[in-house]
Amino acid sequence: MDARRNNILKEIVETFIKTAKPVGSKALCDKFNLSSATIRNEMAVLEDLGYIEKNHVSSGRVPSEEGYRYYVEHLMEAEKITGSDMLKLQKIFASGELELSDAINKCMEIISDITNYTSVVLGKSSKDNNLLQVSIIAINSNQVVAVVCTDKGNVENKMFNIGDNININELIKTSEIINKMLAGTPIDEVSMRLEVDVKPIIKRQIKQYETVYNIFYDAFNDFVAGSSNIHIAGRNNIFNQPEYNDISELKRLANKLDDEELIEKVAENDTDEKKIKIFIGDESEFDPNVTIIRKKYHINGEEGTIAVIGPKRMDYGRIVSLLEYIDEKLDSRKDENGK
Amino acid sequence: MDARRNNILKEIVETFIKTAKPVGSKALCDKFNLSSATIRNEMAVLEDLGYIEKNHVSSGRVPSEEGYRYYVEHLMEAEKITGSDMLKLQKIFASGELELSDAINKCMEIISDITNYTSVVLGKSSKDNNLLQVSIIAINSNQVVAVVCTDKGNVENKMFNIGDNININELIKTSEIINKMLAGTPIDEVSMRLEVDVKPIIKRQIKQYETVYNIFYDAFNDFVAGSSNIHIAGRNNIFNQPEYNDISELKRLANKLDDEELIEKVAENDTDEKKIKIFIGDESEFDPNVTIIRKKYHINGEEGTIAVIGPKRMDYGRIVSLLEYIDEKLDSRKDENGK
DNA sequence: TTTAGCACTCCTTTTCTAACAGTGCTAATC
DNA sequence: GATTAGCACTGTTAGAAAAGGAGTGCTAAA
């Protein structure tokens, strides 16, 4: 892989990213001041190396997954963010009004807008959250709301209908016991501790302790279950990508974007958390026909993942730059509040 | 419109609903023991009346919007729910464990599953909610969560980063003042009353009253804004309907399903709230190529709308029966808790 | 009132052709 | 040795032509 060959591969990848059409030898003549025959010879080598492919014997070349991989590792240059793009993103941070997670969501919506890809924000994992307190709020004599709050500021609430046999004061009393005993407990252990530590105690003090116990059990369980918090922006942008031009393909991808378990896997599996990671085609579990570019963030104890999903023919340089820019902005925000 | 003509129209509509293919005269011969020529004559009349249409001079007939309208008003029979469908729905109500809104969402998910249409639940409108209380929960010295709760059991929470200049006790004190003064106020008036009634008072008692005021203002505002609560199930079922067989059509519909303002209009505009309403094609603002069947519910003060969105060639009888069945089940639940 | 018969229309599918883009290879050239 | 012109070859695409079919409207007879 000498310099010229690298440049030809780079040109092929980038042209294909722009046009979505196979790249022929003639198209590159001018750029390199070479005849199409020479380009063809080089292309044959690149094909032997596995970096580009043909759809049929007389079609232009298309980058293979290996080709994209080589491109992002050796050839890609970070693209400068255009003024108008930067402006749109800056606005979000300028006012400082938005809460962190809202700001991140907004950012990714803008990225989806300007790039025509789909964005995912995976935030607020319930991992590493500890119980701060649970409160009981009485709506009326039949209904109460249990509000569970963690030390990272995640709050979930759940309403319960209670019968006449339960006294609200008993619920409040129980909540106080729980707060005294379990505050600081990792939220995913609370249910267990509730059973082991709290149940025996309220058994002695509360008449309908089974029912009361169940209410709190449900409230905590709901917290763990409802805490995945996925935000997807530009879901319908897949309709704009020429590679997804048949309905069964679109349907498959749309279904995958609705599959929360699958989306959550986007955040999984990594070694170097700080770096932007690129999954091309089969490299991710999501779908062989997409690329996922993702960045993890950790800010003021809140952690999460932002990712962009698009065709393998994705504008890698641009997305990497945009994600880096956002990360930078988020970092500066950490400094503000860290003080 | 004598009986035979009605029956022919009914047959045409129902056959088209099943097959999605234009209905020719021969297809009906057996059913009516008439020659195709006779059916053709009747069809010509039905076409003159505007109830059916041809795609081209020698195609079979397709119901027009007027035809569907006539069908649902005069010809349609409620379809008996099959055992397995009923079983699936009964399971939801049998346990009684699920909260009302969860149960409704689950129901509509099942309806989407078994029918291949898209379902919408519009619930928890913030209308007619009155402030019950606002609580301040301190996460740490820099962060607090404001929890707003209404008399209908709707709860929203919002986290705030506070600087050193604000004392948490001042926030708690302010929350107590608000609770004393504004409990029972319609939630959409709270912001206004906060400005007019509360602000002058805390101005005297609280040092950083501007900042404190803003926090509560934001918290209440967020409640109103974030209270639309739309739940869509079977969003991707549009991919399974043969009428939506081109990508631009799918894209248009997918975008509309993502447009919350548009979806909210599904609940608008009605006279007789109790009845199931059917909007065929242009009759709704949503899209000329769909039918929307909707039912409003009012249970224990919670109100909302459930709706099914599908092609105009929708299985009207089945959907109407299913929605009625759910409504019935919900009603029986009202009795339980109303006691 | 119903029906058999028939001409007619338009859609759909298939087949065929021509144009085209791009390749690989060979032999000549720099 | 690298580059290039030339050429045969291949697969795609677009369009035209042809064939088949489904279904209609109309007429005249039952």
The DSSP string of B32-48 is HT--HHHHHHHHHHHHH
Nearest chain A residue to B215 by CA distance is A97
User: How far is residue B189's CA from residue B186's CA, in Å, rounded to a whole number?
Assistant: 5
Q: Which residues pair with A157 in a beta bridge?
A: A147
Among A12-26, A144-158, B84-98, the range with the most confident prediction by mean pLDDT is: A12-26
To the nearest whole angstrom, how far is the Cα of B161 from the nearest Cα of chain A? 8
pLDDT for B334 = 64
The SS3 assignment for B278 reads strand
Task: Tell me how far the alpha carbon of residue A44 is from its chain's centroid.
Answer: 38
What's the mean pLDDT when you consider all of chain A?
90
**pLDDT at A331 (0 to 100):** 84
Considering only CA atoms, which of A306, A337, A299 is closest in space to residue A322?
Answer: A306
Specify whether the CB–CB gap between B294 and B314 falls below 8 A.
no
Binary contact (A99, B158; C-beta < 8 A): yes
CA B59 → C1' D19, Å?
19
Q: Could you tell me which of A2, A9, A5, A7 has the C-alpha nearest to residue A51?
A: A9
B46 CB contact with strand D at below 7 Å: no
Please indicate whether residue B100 or residue A111 has the higher confidence score (pLDDT). Answer: A111
Nearest CA among A205, A180, A204, A182 for reference residue A193: A182
Quick one: tokens of B275? 């009845």
Query: Is it the case that residue A122 has pLDDT exceeding 80?
Result: yes
Residue of A nearest to B254 (CA): A236
Contact criterion met (CB < 8 Å) for B250 and A239 = yes
Q: For strand C, give the nucleotides within 7 A of a protein CB.
A: 2-5, 8-11, 21-26
- Which of A131, A137, A300 to mutate to probe the B interface, most B CBs <10 Å? A137
pLDDT of residue A317: 97
Interface residue A45 vs chain B (CB under 8 A): no
Phi/psi class of residue B202: alpha, beta or left (left: φ > 0; alpha: ψ in -120 to 50)?
alpha
Of B153, B235, B337, the CB nearest to A145: B153
* Average pLDDT for B300-315: 90
Mean pLDDT of A23-49: 96
Of the two residues A254 and B95, the one the predictor is more confident about is A254
Tell whether the torsion through CA atoms of A200, A206, A211 and A216 is positive or negative: negative
pLDDT tier at B99, thresholds 50, 70, 90: confident
Whether B245 has its CB under 8 Å from any CB of chain A: the answer is yes
Residues A122/A263, Cβ–Cβ less than 8 Å: yes
Which nucleotide lies closest to A37 by the C1' atom and the CA atom?
D4
Q: How many beta carbons lie within 10 A of that of residue B298, not counting itself?
A: 13
pLDDT category at A274 given cuts 50, 70, 90 is confident
pLDDT score for A339: 34
Mean pLDDT for chain B?
90
* pTM for this model (two decimals): 0.86
- Give the three-class secondary structure for A98: coil
Distance B67 CA to C9 C1' (A): 25
Say what the pLDDT of residue A140 is. 79
- pLDDT value of residue B201: 93
If you average pLDDT over residues A265-289, what whole number do you get?
A: 89
pLDDT number for residue A228: 66
- Put simply, whether B147 touches A (Cβ < 8 Å) is yes
Output the distance from A315 CA to D1 C1' rounded to whole Å. Answer: 38
Rounded CA–C1' distance between B99 and D26, in angstroms = 65
Q: Residue B338 has what pLDDT?
A: 41
Residue A334 has pLDDT above 70, yes or no: no
Mean pLDDT of B31-52: 96
Q: Say whether pLDDT at B225 is over 70.
A: no
Question: Any CB–CB contact under 8 A between B145 and chain A?
Answer: yes
* Mean pLDDT, residues B101-124: 93
pLDDT of residue A227: 59
Q: Please, which positions of strand D sit below 7 A from a protein CB?
A: 3-6, 9-12, 21-27
Confidence band (pLDDT; 50, 70, 90) for A322? very high
